[in-house]
């Protein structure tokens, strides 16, 4: 694949980089590759999308600076029976006001066992992924933390039996448009 000129490089001033207004097919391909392997080297990324390493790195930095790439993380495999129990929790608030949402969200950020929290449409206001040592530990989290969060009207919990899909499986990611 031939190396192409970076379209975000200003031809009049190659050291000045213009902000991309929208993600193009190279950005989407770069993001797809990083979802599949966040540790892929810049040289490998550049070769895969057909840009020079310096152009690829500039594009990557723009995606980071623009907030498209918010960070990098490691996906840790559950170590087995001594591992953690995943609990999916749906929370319904007493009121659906901006103040109620802000107060709940500030409180949920302080709970270290909450790994993910989503504002939802549908019957529940929030969906959480909680990690606990076991059912007794989740009971403690439920009683001492979740039920005491501001504005909570109802909590529904479901224990995960096993993980079927976790992280970004490259075979499941959509092709860039």
Q: How many CB atoms lie within 10 A of CB 1?
A: 8
In the DSSP assignment, the letter for residue 130 is E
Give the global pTM. 0.60
- The whole-number pLDDT of residue 68 equals 86
Q: What is the pLDDT of residues 36-59, one digit of tens each?
A: 888 999 999 999 999 999 999 999
DSSP line for 41-89: -HHHHHHHHTB-HHHHHHHHHHHHHTTSS-----PPPP-STTSPEEEEE
Contact indicator for 131, 115 with CB cutoff of 8 Å: yes
- The whole-number pLDDT of residue 25 equals 87
Q: Domains in the chain, ordered, with CATH? A: 25-66 (1.10.10.10), 85-159 (3.30.70.920)
b/e sequence 15-53, b meaning 16+ C-beta within 10 Å: eebeebeebeebbebbbbbbeeeeeeeeeebbeebebee
Q: From CA 18, how far away is CA 55, in angstroms rounded?
A: 12
Per-residue pLDDT tens listing for the chain (177 residues) = 444 445 455 555 555 555 545 788 898 899 889 888 889 999 999 999 999 999 999 999 988 888 888 888 776 665 555 578 999 999 999 999 999 999 999 999 999 999 999 999 999 999 999 999 999 999 999 999 999 999 999 999 999 998 777 665 544 545 555
Rounded (5°) CA angle 87-93-97:
135
- The whole-number pLDDT of residue 76 equals 65
H-helix or E-strand spanning residue 28: helix 25-36
Q: Which long-range contacts link 43-51 to residues 24+ away (Cβ below 8 Å)?
A: 47/1, 50/1, 50/2, 50/3, 50/4, 50/26, 51/3, 51/4, 51/6, 51/26
- The whole-number pLDDT of residue 57 equals 94
């Amino acid at each position: 694949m031939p190396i192409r000129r970076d379209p975000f490089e200003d031809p009049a001033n190659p050291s000045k980089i213009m902000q991309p207004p929208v993600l193009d097919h190279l950005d989407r391909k770069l993001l797809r590759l990083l979802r599949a392997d966040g540790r892929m080297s810049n040289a490998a990324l550049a070769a895969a999308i057909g840009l020079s390493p310096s152009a690829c790195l500039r594009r990557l930095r723009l995606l980071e600076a623009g907030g498209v790439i918010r960070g990098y993380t490691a996906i840790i495999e559950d170590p087995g029976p001594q591992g953690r129990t995943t609990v999916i929790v749906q929370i319904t608030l007493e009121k659906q006001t901006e103040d109620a949402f802000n107060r709940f969200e500030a409180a949920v950020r302080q709970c270290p066992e909450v790994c993910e929290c989503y504002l939802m449409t549908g019957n529940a206001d929030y969906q959480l992924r909680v990690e606990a040592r076991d059912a007794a530990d989740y009971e403690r989290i439920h009683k001492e933390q979740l039920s005491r969060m501001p504005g909570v009207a109802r909590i529904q919990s479901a224990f995960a039996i096993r993980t079927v899909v976790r992280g970004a499986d490259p075979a499941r990611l959509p092709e860039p448009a």
